[in-house]
Each structure stands twice: as C-alpha cells, then as structure tokens.
Amino acid sequence: MENMENVHVLDHPLLQHKLCILRDEKTGVKDFREVVSEIATLMCYEATRDLPLENVTIKTPVATGTFKALTGKKLAIVPVLRAGLGMVDGILTLIPSAKVGHIGLYRDPETHEPVEYYCKMPADIAERDVIILDPMLATGGSATAAIELLKKKYGVKHIKLMNIIAAPEGIQRVHGDHPDVEIYVAAVDEKLNENAYIVPGLGDAGDRIFGTK
C-alpha cells in the first residue's frame, strides 16, 4: 500500500505484541477484551498527538513558571456497535471527560453492506472533534456510513477514525471518499477473503469481544 497522507500506521512494538494476542485463535474472551482495551489506550496516545495546547502559569513549591496545558478542546468518541464498544474504556482512561455517541451498524451477511439500526449522539456533537472507534476496517462500508452520518446528519467537521486492523481495500475506500478523515490503524493486513473478512485478521471482532460464537 502506498504512503497516504492522513493514514497513520502505528507500529509501536507494544502494539505489535498485543496484536499477536488478539490474532491468536486460542485467546479467550477475557484476555481478548482486555487487550482490545489496552490497544485502544496506546492508540489514543498517538491519535491525540495534535491536541492544541495553551500557556498556563503555575506556581510550583519552588517557583512560578509558564507551561503548556490542553486547551480543553471538546472531544467525543463514537464506537460503532458492537465491536467498537470494546475500545471505549481504553480511550476514556486517557480522556475521561470525552462524551460518547453510539452508532449501531451491522454488515448484511450477503451483500456486506452496512445496515444502520441505532444512533444516539451527544447534543453538542457538531462542536466536537470526533474519534470513531471500530476494531476492524474491512471493506470500509461501515466506516464510510458512520463518517457520512456524522458529517451530513450531525454537521461534524473534524473526524478521526481509529481501527486496530485494516484491509488495504478499507483504507482505500475511506481515504478515497473522505480524504480529510485521519485514519489510525495498528496493522494493515494482506487482503479480504470471499466473505469480506480480513486475512489473516483476527476473525469476527464482535463475537470475540462478547463471546457470541
């Protein structure tokens, strides 16, 4: 995959190691869930690297100085149900005051097209910078639907997309349709199979987080 502006592949050794745990078919629900959350925290650290800072004056026990602190820019995270829910706590560990919206989408098993079944956003979502959370970016249909909903229906202007594993097809689709959206992934895998699952991937993220298979 060629280098694309706004696509960030976060290949920190801790992320690569934790991804091996997720990929392993022997990893059970408890560990899978914990590691998804840990990965979300590590990815959040990188995805918030550009948060704006302002000067603040602080009196330490020794002297008064001018330092940098967050401006308090308004953020929201939006997990795509179900699997995105597994990333929420890991993000809130670092940004505890972020508001949380929810988008329910599932892929039609035949067409692989996303079907929306639920949506609830914070009232002031249009004024917030949004990070969409979903462990898997496969065809890109779900991510594109989530982005379009946030832009068109809710007027959100600044969107980041955070996925743990992506297929090249999904990145191309989202980047092609929405080049303004910054995409953060921990791995770009080889391809999609005939069922639009990521190869080698980790299987069905929702089923592995919630133990539904």
- Rounded CA separation 112/177 (Å): 18
Q: Is 212 left (phi over 0), alpha (psi -120 to 50) or beta?
A: alpha
Q: Shortest distance, CB of residue 206 to ligand PRP, whole angstroms?
A: 3
Q: Could you say which residues in the range 118-137 bind ligand PRP, by CB under 6 A?
A: 134-137
24 is catalytic: no
Contact 64, 117 (CB under 8 A): no
Residues 143 and 147: their CA atoms lie apart, in Å, by 6
Give the CA distances from residue 16 to residues 29, 84, 130, 133, 200, in Å, rounded to whole numbers and listed in that order. Answer: 19, 19, 25, 19, 14
Residues near ligand URA (CB under 6 A), total:
9
Contact partner, 134, from ligand URA, ligand PRP, none, Cβ < 5-8 Å per class = ligand PRP
Q: Is 138 in the site for ligand URA (CB under 6 A)?
A: yes
Name the one range near ligand URA by CB under 6 A: 7-15, 52-60, 118-126, 195-203. Answer: 195-203
Q: Is the peptide bond before 135 cis (omega within 30 degrees of 0)?
A: no
Interface mask toward ligand URA for 75-104; x: CB under 6 A: --------x---------------------
List 71, 93, 111, 212, catalytic entry: 111
Exposed / middle / buried, residue 42 (Cβ in 10 Å: 0-12, 13-18, 19+): middle
Name the residue nearer to ligand PRP (CB basis): 74 or 104: 104
Task: Return the range that interacts with ligand URA (CB under 6 A); candidates 16-24, 46-54, 143-151, 200-208.
Answer: 200-208
Answer yes or no: 204 catalytic: yes
* Interatomic CA distance for residues 204 and 105, integer angstroms: 14
Query: Which position among 15, 136, 156, 181 is part of the footprint of ligand URA (CB under 6 A)?
Result: 136
Residue 201 binding ligand PRP, by CB under 6 A: no
> Which residue shows structure tokens 């592949």?
9
Residues 78-107 that bind ligand PRP (CB under 6 A): 80-83, 105-107
The DSSP secondary-structure symbol of 149 reads I
Q: Which active-site residues does the annotation give?
A: 107, 111, 204, 207
Residues at the interface with ligand URA (CB under 6 A): 83, 136, 138, 197-198, 201, 204-206
